[in-house]
Amino acid sequence: MKAIMKNSQLYKGSLNTIIMKLLEENGKMYGYEITQKVKAITQGELNITEGALYPALHKLEADGFLDVEIEKVDNRMRKYYKLTESGEKETVNRLSELADFIRNMQSLVNPKLEF
Amino acid sequence: MKLTNEQIAIIDQTLIDKGVVYDDIKLELIDHIATDIEEKLENQEFDFDVALSKDIIKWEKALEETSSLWGNVIGPRIVKEKFSKITKNHYKFSLIAVVIFSILMTTITTLKPEEYVYYNLHLLFYSVYSLVCLINIISMFFIWKLKIKTICGRFFQANVGYTAFNLYLIYSGLNKLSNLYRYYIFKNIFLNFLEWVFKGFFFFMAVYLVIVAVEHFKTIRKYKLV
């Protein structure tokens, strides 16, 4: 059984980038959908907790990187998040930063490997 | 398996019992929990009551009761975090606005130390101040009448009491308007600056409340809460 790395500090710093990347690929998503998508992509290895997801979404929304849409689904309202124009630009920056981070970490932990 | 209206109402009440009384936050938590439970019922893992109690445990950290030192708001962490953000923005906005405003007013009155400038500047200031307070009072009435709870609405209600003090400041300022210049000419530039800081602090607090009230009404419309 694979471990759920929900508390790993290594992932915490990348949570916003993960959310923005998913929204870039999928257009608009709601909270539950984001958690399930991350679980599916990582085959259950990464589990975003509710306590971490919503503060991150609310912060990105307050910073102007996300916009929201409310739709009635069945007998309740659903809040969808999507990237704003500045959110799209920020996603490109953050992904590039993350790629640099991964490359540098790879060089540090395994200096023999070359990319 | 889709949840019934009664089951959605039970989730709603459970969240209210946990302190999530604000509709703008509650709305997405209800949907998240309901979707999760529907999936569990689909897989016939549990019945509704068991699924709900198991689901609420996952929200333990977000729903943990905390208190905010700044705004005296006691409630779940997810509420406090949003409330703290508005409070921090308030102080950031007020600090920047008061400094710019005070420097500008002190500069004008120093460069043009004439009675008519001083008089008209104050008259304009107190007129705008009165208008802002009037908007706050009208907003307070509509927020109370609509009875829809949002986190911005909560911030507004927690701070709208200052309007009484603002009205007192306007009243006493307008009363002394014709004598203000006489006091001003005996003051040095620093005391003049401090006087504008004091007036500006309460004025921009009232201005920020207007921004928060607009945000409250925008949330109601956007979230279709009416």
Same domain, B183 and B217: yes
Same domain, B165 and B137: yes
Cα(B115)–Cα(B184) distance, integer angstroms: 9
Query: What is the number of domains present in chain B?
Result: 2
The residue to which tokens 């630009």 are assigned: A89
What's the token pair of residue B60?
A: 């333990």
pLDDT band for position B43 (cuts 50, 70, 90): confident
Cα(B135)–Cα(B128) distance, integer angstroms: 11
Q: Which residues of B touch A7 (CB under 8 A)?
A: none
> Does B55 fall in a domain?
yes
Which of A50, A59, A73 is nearest residue B62 as measured by Cβ atoms?
A: A50
Q: What is the mean pLDDT of chain A?
A: 87
Cα(B226)–Cα(B222) distance, integer angstroms: 10
Same domain, B95 and B53: no
> Does B92 fall in a domain?
yes
pLDDT the model gives residue A3: 37
Nearest Cα to B216, choosing from B108, B141, B162, B161? B141
pLDDT the model gives residue A115: 52
Q: B81 vs A58: CB contact, 8 Å cut-off? A: yes
List the domain range (segments joined by +) for residue B216.
81-222
> Does B169 fall in a domain?
yes
Which of these three, B63, B95, B110, is where a domain ends? B63
Distance of residue A51 Cα from the nearest chain B Cα, in angstroms: 5
pLDDT the model gives residue A30: 97
Same domain, B23 and B88: no
What's the token pair of residue B72?
A: 């005296």
- Is-contact A56 A104, C-beta < 8 A? no
Same domain, B199 and B119: yes
pLDDT the model gives residue A2: 39
Same domain, B41 and B88: no
DSSP E strands in A1-115: the ranges are 28-30, 66-73, 76-83
Tens digits of residue pLDDT in A36-68: 999 999 888 888 888 889 989 999 998 899 999
What's the token pair of residue B198?
A: 């004091």
For the domain bounded by A9-109, which CATH number is listed?
A: 1.10.10.10
Task: Give mean pLDDT, residues B18-31.
Answer: 93
Same domain, B52 and B91: no
pLDDT the model gives residue B60: 85
Which of these three, B63, B94, B111, is where a domain ends? B63
Q: A76 vs B77: CB contact, 8 Å cut-off? A: no
- What are the domain boundaries of chain A? 9-109
Same domain, B134 and B101: yes
Cα(B172)–Cα(B168) distance, integer angstroms: 6
Same domain, B57 and B128: no
Q: B61 vs A76: CB contact, 8 Å cut-off? A: no
Beta bridge partners of B65: B76
> Does B155 fall in a domain?
yes
Which has more confidence, B178 or B83? B83
DSSP element (H, E) containing A58: helix A50-62
> Does B15 fall in a domain?
yes
The residue to which tokens 């729903």 are assigned: B63
Q: A77 vs B58: CB contact, 8 Å cut-off? A: no
Task: Give mean pLDDT, residues B184-190.
Answer: 78
Tens digits of residue pLDDT in B59-93: 888 888 876 555 556 688 888 888 888 888 888 99
Taking one residue from A and the other from B, the number of pairs with CB-CB distance under 8 angstroms is: 64
Task: Return the percentage of chain B with pLDDT > 70, whole number.
Answer: 96
Same domain, B93 and B202: yes
Q: Count how many residues are written for chain B.
A: 226
Tens digits of residue pLDDT in B94-111: 999 999 999 999 999 888
Nearest residue of A to residue B37, measured between CA atoms: A32
The reported pTM is: 0.84
Same domain, B106 and B217: yes
Q: Which residues of A touch B35 (CB under 8 A)?
A: 32
Same domain, B17 and B101: no
Nearest residue of B to residue A31, measured between CA atoms: B32
- Give the contacts of B70 (CB within 8 A, at least 6 positions apart): B84, B87
> Does B75 fall in a domain?
no
Tens digits of residue pLDDT in B120-169: 999 999 999 999 999 999 999 999 999 999 999 999 999 999 999 999 99
